[in-house]
Each structure stands twice: as structure tokens, then as C-alpha cells.
Amino acid sequence: GYSLAPRLTTHPEYVLDPEKWIDEGLRFAVLDRSDAEGLGRDDPGAIWPEKTTAADVVQDGAEVVLIGHRSTTWYAGATNPPTTLIPGRSSTTADSPIRRVLDAVAADEQLTEDDIVTLFSARGPEVNAIAEVADQLRHEAVGDTVTWVHNRNINYTNVCTFKCRFCGFSKGPMSLNLRGTPYLLTLDDIAERAREAEELGATEVTLQGGIHPDFDGDYYIDVTHAVRSAAPSIHVHGFTALEITEGAKRLGEDLVTYLGRLKEAGLSSLPGTAAEILDDAVRAELCPDKITTAEWLDCHAAAHEVGLGSNVTMMFGSIEHPRSWAKHFIVTRDLQAVTGGFTEFVGLPFVHMASPIYLQHKARRGPTFRETLLIHAVARIVYRGLIDNIQLSWVKLGEHASRQLLNAGCNDLGGTLMDENISRAAGASHGQGMTANDFSHLVEPLGRRLAQRTTSYGRADQPNAIFEESLS
């Protein structure tokens, strides 16, 4: 009934309150080697604090170059493969807290915050027990097909007036020389990229960027018009809750009115980014001037009211702990029960290498692989019957981790991306884009079917020919 877990030389309760118990000179060394529960990280391999330097600007962002000693352990954004958790031995004891929660799941009971926190405490064979339940729920909800969307990211500016402490992408007055050169695409630039994406077969463009000091709310409407005019058939998936809230505020409009105007201009759905962790105690440290949990929820509720779908994202593994993950799941689950407007959950493991808060020695080095797997498996369990699609982020995980998550409740690989630069700016090294063949190579060892989808999870009108045989 017990599992072995590594601990550091100081016990978890002291690791979780370092200002009180740990000398300042040792704090970062302890933080860098701890997990979200204050225990030692359980990914095998050596840990060295990554050091970075900026390379030349690559398209719209600087590729971060790691220098000095390289850690040999797995972490989000690295090329090191993770330990193999799946397949693995699965078991729980009859009287264990994990077994009690899984029995509640089997009885179709709604999980409480404490139940969710309990699931995140799983180690050893209990992790596999949770993954098995999640994967069975995945099979029941969406079958065995693994999906992907052909899309292009257009990040139109990296200039931002907000001070999110985790962001290695945006540039403000205090960071103009940190990584790369500040840029702002013109409307013609944005339109041309959308046109190129459509010509290359993309069915979606994702639009987001920093909050530029010169933007008014009409800017986002102008961008939407430009994309829609250049690529009439493409799905416009755009603008975070922060961008929407700021745009409405700068025009003096309420959210429903502003989102209605964006929809009329051609906006089709919203990404869930800007959520980070929906726990205001964490947000006060991580992104103190950003929208609150209630404001994020209000924006997405308004989007659903006017007929725009959206998704839920969670950035995890920086400074927060399992109870914050549970809070995030519950508030989004509760909103989905009312509106039904979320199409998917997307887990975004924190990429630490060039993140300012990590470089300031104030954050962990992202989640462990066990934590990453549990986030996606628990998402499948918590959102059962409400959100059918659980997406993994290949750009942060790589193919070995992605395959394991596809056996732990995930059913979607996300997009081809084409010009991904936000994760690269934080130090991720899994490339700027994926092709249909890349996705096929990733999924083939699992024996699962692969299908191209639309943003709203319908079958794409013209799926790539390589899928025709497997889908017949």
C-alpha cells in the first residue's frame, strides 16, 4: 500500500515554506530539485541549472541557445526522453485514498477539490491505475482515433505592457534586449501569412500576441477583417481573454458587445491562453497585473453567450501546487456545465529555461513527467461528460512523452503550428512545426487511427491522403 518517493535533505513541509526554513543561499538549489509537493523530482538523471543566451532572431522570435552543463533528466521543452511510466504495473490497495477516489469515479460521482488533490498524490503503480481509468474514459468518449488540426500560429507582436513573470516571449521597456528584437506585424503581413496558410492547406490560424501600448480595441477587429479577407475559408481562432478584456476596456464596451463585433468581423473561436493557473493567490505572484480568475471566466462565458467556442488551458509546473490545479479544474468544469462552450482542455507544462521567473531563481524547472501525465489523466476524469477532448502540447513534450500521454486519456495532438515561437523563446527545442507525416510517425507505434480535424473537432473536408486507408 506504500510507494517510495525521493525526498531532499529537508522534508517537504519545509521545502514548501522556503522563506521561513531554508537559507537564502540554498533556496534555489532546493527549489530546482523539488516537485510540486516538496519532494525530490522523480525523473532520473542529473540536474544542472540551465544557462541561456539569445541567438539571432528567427522569423518572429529569438531561438534560445542553452550553454554550459546540460541536465540529463527530462523536463518540458528538452530533447531528453522521459522515463517510461506507461506501460507499467497498475495497482491500488483496497483502502487507499486513490482507490476511494477511483471508486467514486466508477460510481459517476462528481469529484471534490480534495478528491482531485488526492489523485495528484499518486505515485508508482497508482499513477498507472489513474491512467488506465482516464484512458478507458477517453475510449468511451471519443474512441481510439487520434486527431490533429492543420493550423498556423500568427503572433503579431512581442511588445507587451504587462509583466507576466513567466513569459520569455514578450518584450517590454525593461526587456528590449533580453531575447530578440521587438516587432509588430502590419495588417498586410498578417493577411499574407493567413493567405499562405490557406494555400498550404491549413484550416485554422491562431492569432495572439502581446498587449501593445498603441493598440485600441478596434485593432483586433481590424486584424480579424484582414485575415478573413485574405483567407475566406479559414477558421479564425484568436485573441486571449486578456486581449479581449483589454480591447473591450479600451473602447468602453461590455464583453458581449465587443465579442459580438469580433464575431461579425469573422472571429470563430477563442484560445484558452492567459488562463495560466486559475487561482488568484498564484496569479498574484505569477502575473500580478493580468486579468483575475473571475475575469478570465467572464470573458469565456461571454464568448459562449455570443456563439464563440473556446478551450481551457493550464500552464503548470512553475510556482503552484496540486491544490491550485484542482481549483483550476473545478472552476472551468463548473462553467462548462452551464455554457457547454469549451471544446477541449490543453495542458501546457511550464518551459523554464529562459523564463524570467526561473532565471530569477523563483520557480521550479517545470513539472516532472509524473505530474505531466497526471495533469492530463486527471483532466480526462474531472471533465468526463463535459469536455470530450484532451489535447497534449507536442512542442513542449516531444514524441516519447506524447505517446505515453495518448495512453493516459489524451486524444488530440493539437496543431501543425508552422511558426511556433512562444515555446522556443522560453527554450523549447522541439521545432517550429509538425507535418502530417510527423504526426503519423508519432502515432504509428500505438496502433491507433490518425485523423485530421477541424477546430471544432469535425472531420476535415479533405483529410490528408495518407489517412484514407486507416480511416476507411
Q: Where are the domains of the chain?
A: 142-471
First-to-last C-alpha distance (Å) of the chain: 46
Residue 356 is predicted with a pLDDT of: 84
The amino acid sitting at 151 is N
Predicted pLDDT at 58: 52
Query: What is the Cα 47 distance to its own chain's centre?
Result: 24
Q: What is the pLDDT of residues 290-302, one digit of tens each?
A: 999 999 999 999 9
**In terms of Cα–Cα distance, which of 193, 225, 209 is closest to 273?**
209
Please state, for a pLDDT cut of 70, what percent of the chain lies above it: 87
Single out the residue of 16, 41, 17 nearest to residue 123, CA to CA.
Answer: 41
Q: Quick one: three-class SS letters along 346-360?
A: EEEECCCCCCHHHHC
Question: b/e string for 452-470 if b means 16 or more Cβ within 10 A?
Answer: bbbbebeebeebbeebeee
More confident: 419 or 393: 393
Q: Does residue 324 have a pLDDT over 70?
A: yes
Listed in sequence order, the residues at least 6 apart from 107 whose beta carbon sits closer than 8 Å to its beta carbon are none
| Averaged confidence pLDDT in the chain | 89
Min mean pLDDT across 45-49, 279-283, 347-351, 376-380 is at 45-49
Sign of CA dihedral 78, 379, 237, 273: negative
Report the alpha-carbon distance of residue 362 to residue 401 in Å, rounded: 26
Reply yes or no on whether the pLDDT at 467 is more than 50: no
DSSP state of 269: E
Distance CA 14, CA 22 (A): 7
pLDDT higher for 424 or 314? Answer: 314
Task: Report the C-alpha gap between 73 and 69 in whole angstroms.
Answer: 12
| pLDDT tier at 423, thresholds 50, 70, 90 | very low
Q: How confident is the model at residue 420 (pLDDT cuts 50, 70, 90)?
A: very low
pLDDT surpassing 90 at residue 149? yes
| Average confidence (pLDDT) over 366-374 | 98
CA distance 329 to 313: 10
Residue 282 has pLDDT above 60, yes or no: yes
What is the pTM for the complete model shown?
0.91
Rounded to whole angstroms, the Cα distance separating 259 from 280 reads: 25
pLDDT value at position 421? 45
Give the pLDDT score at 469: 33
Distances (CA, A) of 74 to 16, 125, 404: 22, 20, 14
- Grouping H, G, I as helix, E, B as strand and the rest as coil, residue 291 is coil
Closest by alpha carbon to 422, among 64, 53, 162, 161? 64
Contact status, residue 408 vs residue 377, Cβ threshold 8 Å = yes
Grid coordinates representing 374 are 497526471
**What mean pLDDT comes out for the span 424-432?**
47
Q: For residue 177, what pLDDT is reported?
A: 41
- Which overall architecture, per CATH, does domain 142-471 show? Alpha-Beta Barrel (3.20)
In degrees, to the nearest 5, what angle opens at C-alpha 153 toward C-alphas 150 and 156? 155
Q: Please state the φ and ψ torsions of residue 348, each to the nearest 5 degrees.
A: -125, 90
**pLDDT tens digits for 208-246?**
988 888 889 999 999 999 999 999 999 999 999 999 999
pLDDT, residue 430, reads 43
Q: Is 420 left (phi over 0), alpha (psi -120 to 50) or beta?
A: beta
451, 459 contact by CB (below 8 A): yes
The pLDDT of residue 470 is 34
